[in-house]
Amino acid sequence: MLLDALLFQLGYNAALVMIGAGLLGLAAGMAGTFLFLRKRALVSDAISHATLPGIAVAFIVMEAFGGDGRSLAGLLIGAICASALGLAAVTYLGNRTRLSEDAAIGAVLSVFFGFGIVLLTVIQAFGYGRQSGLEGFLLGSTAGMLRSDATLIAVSAALTCAIVLLMRRPLTVAAFDPGFARVSGQRPDWAEAVLMAVVLAVTVVGLKVVGLILIVALLIIPPVAARFWSDQSTHVLWISSIIGGLAGYFGAALSAIAPDLPTGPIIVLCAFGLFLVSFLFAPERGVLASVLRHFRFRRDVHMRQGLLALAQGHPIFEDLTLKLLIRAGFASADGVPTDTGRARAAKALRDEARWREVRGDPAFERAAARYDGLTDLSDVLTEDQLREVDARIGPPVGAA
Amino acid sequence: MGFEFVSLSLPPLVIGVCVAIACAVPGNFLLLRRQALIGDAISHVVLPGIVLAFVVAGSLSSVAMMIGAAVAAVFSMVAIELIRRFGRIEPGAAMGVVFTTMFAAGVLLLEQSDTDGVHLDVEHALFGNLEGLIWFDALGWASLLDPVALAGLPVELPRMFAVLVIIVVFTVVYWRPLAVMSFDEGFAQALGLRTQALGMMLVILSALAAVAAFDAVGSIIVIAMFICPPAAARLLTNQLGRQVWLSALLAAISAIIGYVLAGYGLGWLGYGASVSAAGMIATVSGVILAIAAVCGPHRRRVS
């Protein structure tokens, strides 16, 4: 069943919705990366919650003028107006009064949402009941979508995607270094405005699919997940958009076979699943990589200390050290060093003696900074330098 | 006005006022400490906990709800810390990931848990059901003195009232440290105040208020209760004591006006229906904030 959905076998509408959701996720992943870099992800939360009264007013107006209140295009225009108003309110409260931006975001988000709920109950009170389908905008609902609505979503998602793609250079520069952007002749405030416009577009297009309460997740989760894979902004951008796209696509497919459930939470949980994969398995920053690194480090420390102990003829009491030495063939089961073990131990001791000399000499300051008790000095210094050090400390003990 | 009012309107009205004040008072300090969105975060995170508690316990009892919410909150804190540590990701983004995911999980759980009691559905969780908290046993004003009838009060009323009392007592007892900490955390630490413990206490009490208010106003509108009255009060005065009193007053006013408008507003226009009380309370508090933002005497930043 899921396979059918993934392969677009569940009908034209479902396929359109899945493509639209995928494109939406792509655009959201990209726009979200810039928000993440600018640390303004929560502004989008205010924008998305602010759409609700706009949707309700648009419904009422369209019904009042004898039209069909459920027309998606009309509702989305209402949503755009209301969310622009919400954004303006956040900006006013944050810049013109002494309230901080997060207070402004919280206030706008909850008040607009509350007012939207009031309007929804008004619409119910006037007898449209549940047929208005406006509740679907809260958490997303893609079941039984009209052909025209699905097309509208797919097309506008593709447009949003194209805009972010075109604007990604100025957006990146403005996100990292507004000062540089200004002196290089760009307008960072414009880039900011474009970013907000794109976020608004993502929010509005995502209303029907993800819903206004959870759309912010599609802007936050992909970039954070992508951050685990790379340190480079362009890579993060692409990985984030891919994660967003996959989440949208899989989520919409899953929702197509579970029409009773709201689509938004499913898409969000898909995004979280991809995040979890990144969190666990990403190289470098992933949990698995960290654990492996930890064990490798521990092994190296024990090995080194064990070899030094062998070289100096100290008994080894630490079980793990002994086990590692025995496994490497450096010691026999009773802790007596083998011939290879003796050779390696002498080498480790020699290295330690060289390090001691290097660390005592200010001329080798740079090299001495790399001392961690594990690195071989021959990895740090050149042949000539090593020879110089050796000349100072004399021949190895026992070799004479 | 007698029987009907006492039975249908008085309990939700009182609960609404209690919720509004219980959220507004800690909201003052959260606002000053730039933690205004903590209320938002808490209300999102506790949803799966509350739903799980509801599924396990079969009803929305106070104890189960608090335990579920606490478990969810602790779980989210651990998750945020893990993500922050491993990914070296700023706390705001890590919080965003955890909160939205937990909220999504809560909503799906809610949809899955087929509860015939019709006590808890998605709409309920999002914007509460203040007008549903009615007092069946009331027969009129006299019932306020009748112990048998009083026993039938909606359980949310004593619960919310208790939370309000706890919060007020905390605020009064720790007034000085709270005030010092909110304006100058470094100075408070230099004085030897345990600001971390106190800050944690503040967050826990806010969580308590948010969870207790869940039934009445749901998990999104409660944010308005945390932010709007304190924010409006902050624009009206420069003195913390006055600000807290004013915020409580504004909260109570929004609750009363909001409830009355929601219950009777459409009736005055000639339609016999009511609208969402929680939504209306948020709207009224937003209007008050807007007025304060446009003409409050202390709205500008001191530069």
- pLDDT tens for each residue of B122-173: 777 888 888 888 887 777 777 777 777 777 788 888 889 999 999 999 999 9
Instruction: Quote the tokens at residue B48.
Output: 């799966």
Question: Which of B45, B80, B95, B97 should we substitute to test contact with A (largest number of A Cβ atoms within 10 Å)?
Answer: B97
Q: Which two tokens stand for residue B151?
A: 């026993």
Contact B278 A114 (CB under 8 A): yes
Residue B20 contacts residue B252 (beta carbons within 8 Å): yes
Please give the backbone phi and psi of residue A331, each rounded to the nearest 5 degrees, phi first.
Answer: -145, 150
A75 interfacial to chain B (CB closer than 8 Å): no
Q: Each residue of A11-36: pLDDT tens digit?
A: 788 888 888 899 999 999 999 999 88
pLDDT (0 to 100) of residue B115: 54
CB A220 within 8 A of CB A271: no
Cβ–Cβ under 8 Å, residues A73 and B190: no
pLDDT at position A295 over 90: yes
Are the beta carbons of A286 and B86 separated by less than 8 Å?
yes
A278: enclosing H helix or E strand: helix A263-281
Chain A, window 88-117: residues with a beta carbon less than 8 angstroms from a chain B beta carbon: 92-93, 96-100, 102-103, 105-107, 109-117
Task: Please answer whether residues A77 and A58 qualify as being in contact, where contact means their C-beta atoms are separated by less than 8 angstroms.
Answer: yes
> What average pLDDT does the segment B175-194 reach?
90
The whole model's pTM is what?
0.87
Q: Which of B7, B5, B15, B13 is nearest to B157 (CA)?
A: B15
Contact A118 B280 (CB under 8 A): yes
Collect all residues of chain B within an 8 Å Cβ-Cβ radius of residue A290: 86
Name all contacts of A68-75 with Cβ < 8 Å and 24+ positions apart: A69/A128, A69/A132, A70/A132, A70/A133, A72/A146, A72/A148, A72/A149, A72/A152, A72/A153, A72/A208, A73/A152, A75/A134, A75/A137, A75/A207
Is B241 exposed, middle or buried, given 0-12, 13-18 or 19+ CB atoms closer than 10 A?
A: exposed
A94, two tokens? 């944050």
Instruction: Quote the minimal CA–CA distance from B152 to chain A in Å.
Output: 28
Least Cα distance to A285 among B102, B100, B82, B95 occurs for B82
pLDDT category at A399 given cuts 50, 70, 90 is very low
If you average pLDDT over every residue of chain A, what do you get? 87
The length of chain B is 303
Interchain proximity A99–B234, CB inside 8 Å = yes
Residues A267 and A57 sit within 8 Å (Cβ to Cβ) = no
Chain B residues close to A49, C-beta within 8 Å: 220
Q: Is the pLDDT higher at B273 or at A152?
A: A152
The H or E element containing residue A69 is none
- A125 — contact with chain B (CB < 8 Å)? yes
- Residue A217 is predicted with a pLDDT of 93
Q: What is the mean pLDDT of chain B?
A: 87
**Domains of chain A listed by start with CATH number:** 2-282 (1.10.3470.10), 288-393 (no CATH)
Q: What are phi and psi of A208, to 5 degrees?
A: -75, -30
**pLDDT for A132:** 66
Cross-strand pairs, B132: none
Task: For chain A, report the end-to-end CA distance as a whole number of angstroms.
Answer: 78
How many whole angstroms separate alpha carbon B217 and alpha carbon B39? Answer: 13
**Best interface-test mutation with A: which of B107, B234, B250 has the largest number of A CBs within 10 A?**
B107
**Interchain proximity B266–A139, CB inside 8 Å:** no
Chain B residue with the nearest C-alpha to that of A269:
B101
Q: Residue B127 and residue A100: Cβ atoms within 8 Å?
A: no
Cβ contact A216–B221 (<8 Å): no
Reported as a single tens digit per residue, the pLDDT across A145-156 is 788 888 888 888
Residue B289: closest C-alpha in chain A: A107
- Quote the pLDDT of residue B114: 63
**Which residues of chain B does A32 touch, with a Cβ-Cβ cutoff of 8 Å?**
none
B259 to chain A: closest CA residue: A118
Per-residue DSSP letters for B71-120? HHHHHHHHHHHHHHHHHT--HHHHHHHHHHHHHHHHHHHHHHS--TT---
Asked if B279 and A98 come within 8 Å (Cβ–Cβ), the reply is: no
A400 pLDDT above the threshold of 70: no
Contact A265 B104 (CB under 8 A): yes
Q: Is residue B180 pLDDT above 80, yes or no?
A: yes
Distance from CA of A68 to the nearest CA of B (A): 23
Percent of chain B scored above 70 by pLDDT? 95
In sequence order, which residues have a C-beta less than 8 Å from that of residue A350 and are 6 or more positions away? A396
Which pLDDT value is given to residue B118? 46
User: Hey, are the CB atoms on B37 and A42 less than 8 Å from each other?
Assistant: yes
Give the CA dihedral B181, B187, B192, B196, nearest 10 degrees.
40
Q: What is the fold of B3-219?
A: ABC transporter involved in vitamin B12 uptake, BtuC (1.10.3470)
Across the A:B interface, residue pairs with CB atoms under 8 Å apart total: 211
pLDDT tens-digit series, residues B93-112: 888 899 999 999 998 888 87
What are the structure tokens assigned to B229, written together?
């009255």
For range A321-342, the mean pLDDT: 87
Residues A48, A79: Cα–Cα separation, whole Å: 9
**Contact between residue A262 and residue A209 where contact means Cβ atoms under 8 Å apart:** no
- Distance (Å) from the alpha carbon of B147 to chain A's nearest alpha carbon: 36
| C-beta of residue A240 within 8 angstroms of C-beta of residue A223 | yes
Question: Is the pLDDT reported for residue A398 higher than 90?
Answer: no
Does A220 sit within 8 Å of B227, measured CB to CB? no
B151: phi then psi, degrees, rounded to nearest 5 = -65, -20
> Phi/psi of residue A282, each to 5°?
-60, 140
Most confident of A108-117, B128-137, B177-186: A108-117
Mutate to test the interface with B, among A117, A139, A227 (most CBs of B within 10 A): A117
Range among A136-150, A212-226, A301-315, B4-18 with highest mean pLDDT value? A212-226
Complex confidence, ipTM = 0.92
Determine the distance in angstroms separating the CA of A117 from the nearest CA of chain B, rounded to an integer: 6
